[in-house]
């Protein structure tokens, strides 16, 4: 599935255009970076309210498939620049982490 399609299916806003294929093998929800570092795995979608540029470093180090920023948090410009550079899709939504997690579950991601 392409990022655009993924965004449409989950009603998320894709914050920059990318042609990347989404390969989501799991989901992790968390806002404390050390805990995400230890728990999230390769090709996981990461749901968070953090927006600081360091979330991109975490996603890159873990080979996460994407970052989904919830609760309508504003994502900093430098975060987007870095994500673009590394081609790590960032989505945004005004929904809660729980709601996005439920939608991912309905999509078949366990």
Residues that bind other proteins (CB under 8 A): 31-38, 41-42, 48, 50, 52-55, 57-58, 60-62, 78
Query: φ, ψ for residue 88 (rounded to 5)?
Result: -110, 110
Nearer to other proteins, 4 or 53 (CB): 53
Query: Toward other proteins, which CB reaches closer, 1 or 61?
Result: 61
Q: Is the Cβ of residue 13 or residue 76 nearer to other proteins in the bound state?
A: 76
Q: How far apart are CA 29 and CA 109, in angstroms?
A: 14
- Sort 103 into a burial class: Cβ within 10 Å, 0-12 / 13-18 / 19+: middle
Q: How far is the CB of 30 from other proteins (least distance, A)?
A: 9
């Amino acid at each position: 599935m392409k990022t655009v399609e993924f965004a449409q299916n989950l009603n998320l806003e894709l914050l920059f255009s990318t042609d990347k294929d989404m390969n989501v093998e799991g989901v992790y929800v968390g806002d404390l970076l050390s805990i995400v570092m230890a728990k999230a795995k390769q090709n996981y979608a990461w749901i968070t309210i953090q927006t600081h540029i360091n979330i991109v470093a975490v996603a890159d180090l873990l080979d996460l498939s994407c970052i989904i920023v919830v609760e309508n948090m504003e994502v900093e410009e430098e975060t987007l620049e870095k994500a673009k550079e590394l081609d790590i899709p960032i989505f945004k939504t005004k929904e809660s982490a729980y709601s996005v997690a439920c939608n991912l579950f309905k999509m078949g991601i366990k």
